[in-house]
Amino acid sequence: MDIQGWKQRFLEYTEIEKGRSLKTVENYDRYLLRFIRFAKVKRPEDITQDLVREYRLWLNRQSAHEGKKGVPSSALKKRTQNYYLIALRAFLKYLAREGVSVVSPEKIELAKTPEHELDLISSQDLRRLLSAPTGESISALRDRAILELFFSTGLRVSELCGLSRDIDLDRDEFSIRGKGEKVRLVFLSDTAKKAVKDYLAKRTDVDDALFIHIGRGDEKGLAKDKGSLRLTPRSVERLVRHYAVKLGISKKVTPHVLRHSFATDLLENGADLRSVQALLGHANITTTQIYTHVTDQRLKEVYKKYHSGKR
């Protein structure tokens, strides 16, 4: 079988056996296609350590995208380069599993990246943002419910957009299917529950989605177009940014920033890192450890308050 055939089998394995999302499969397809076009090999066995090294050099010299008149705008970030290498390692690991003689995936080391810095907003700006949608229109009620739900649950924007309106608001919790099709429990604050209830009480449409597009002049939320009215992640990102700009918040505010706020709020109030990992749906604790600066700061405060070794 040639390398294209193996790539297709790997993508199907990733989707079915590994249970990865279609978006992940699409990304792997794009990343591997770029490698195959660069390598110009017909068979996986032709991939050598030297070829992988040349590919890494080539990636490091690529631009992220073309600017005006085809001028490269910026170099491909190390983190982005690693996405390509992770896809290649996963492909080689699959091939080895299938008995194909290939370069050991363990020999492909990822590029060192700068320590990830969190984009956070102050607690004051967070409170202002949650209170930004005012009035009793269907759009204001929807936006208020979205913001409150983000901060109450720590949902990813794709998870929030995928919610259905039959969510049980008589309970303080519900299950969500996140990355890798893994199910986790998230919890509703009283404020978030009330915001969602107020919004749904104003809805008169029959669309299954919890959060829908609302047309201009349509304050009843009635469906005017055929098909689903479900909000897309891009629409929700624009919505969050709109309120941040309106309030004059200088930092870039996204749904992921609200997810960060959810996590740091828990840690600042005494939650342990493992619990936050479970609530965020992180498969690996190392992903959650980007928030350790919060616990580090609390440890510093505890030290200053209780340590008796002052000189």
Per-residue pLDDT of 264-291, as tens digits, reads 888 888 888 899 999 999 888 888 888 8
Look at residue 243 and tell me if it is in a domain. Answer: yes
291 catalytically annotated: yes
User: Under a CB-based contact definition with an 8 Å cutoff, are residues 194 and 144 in contact?
Assistant: no
The whole-angstrom separation of Cα 51 and Cα 293 is 40
In a shared domain, residues 140 and 229: yes
In a shared domain, residues 11 and 81: yes
Look at residue 179 and tell me if it is in a domain. Answer: yes
In a shared domain, residues 169 and 89: no
Nearest-5° angle of CA 205, CA 235, CA 238?
Answer: 135
Q: Would you report the helix, strand and coil content of the chain in percent, each value rounded to 5?
A: 55, 5, 35
pLDDT (tens digit, 9 = 90+) per residue, 133-183?
A: 999 999 999 999 999 999 999 999 999 999 999 998 888 899 998 887 788
The whole-angstrom separation of Cα 281 and Cα 291 is 14
31 catalytically annotated: no
In a shared domain, residues 69 and 129: no
pLDDT above 70 as % of the chain? 85
Residue 102 has pLDDT above 80, yes or no: yes
Look at residue 67 and tell me if it is in a domain. Answer: yes
Look at residue 15 and tell me if it is in a domain. Answer: yes
CA-atom Rg of the chain in angstroms: 23
The CATH number given to whatever domain includes residue 65 is 1.10.150.130
Which residue is catalytic, options 9, 184, 202, 256? Answer: 256
pLDDT (tens digit, 9 = 90+) per residue, 207-237?
A: 999 999 987 545 444 444 456 789 999 999 9
In a shared domain, residues 143 and 71: no
- Secondary structure element (H or E) that encloses residue 146, with its range: helix 138-153
In a shared domain, residues 135 and 222: yes
Which residue is catalytic, options 56, 144, 193, 259? Answer: 259
Look at residue 115 and tell me if it is in a domain. Answer: no
179 catalytically annotated: yes
Which residue is catalytic, options 179, 230, 241, 293? Answer: 179
Rounded to two decimals, the pTM is 0.67
Give pLDDT, residue 180.
72
Q: How many domains in the chain? A: 2
In a shared domain, residues 101 and 128: no
The CATH number given to whatever domain includes residue 182 is 1.10.443.10
Look at residue 35 and tell me if it is in a domain. Answer: yes
Choosing from 250, 279, 295, the residue where a domain stops is 250
In a shared domain, residues 157 and 198: yes
Q: What range defines the domain where residue 138 resides? A: 124-250
In a shared domain, residues 100 and 161: no
112 catalytically annotated: no
- CA-based nearest residue to 184, from 169, 174, 193: 174
Which residue is catalytic, options 20, 56, 156, 213? Answer: 156
Choosing from 229, 250, 271, the residue where a domain stops is 250
Look at residue 9 and tell me if it is in a domain. Answer: yes
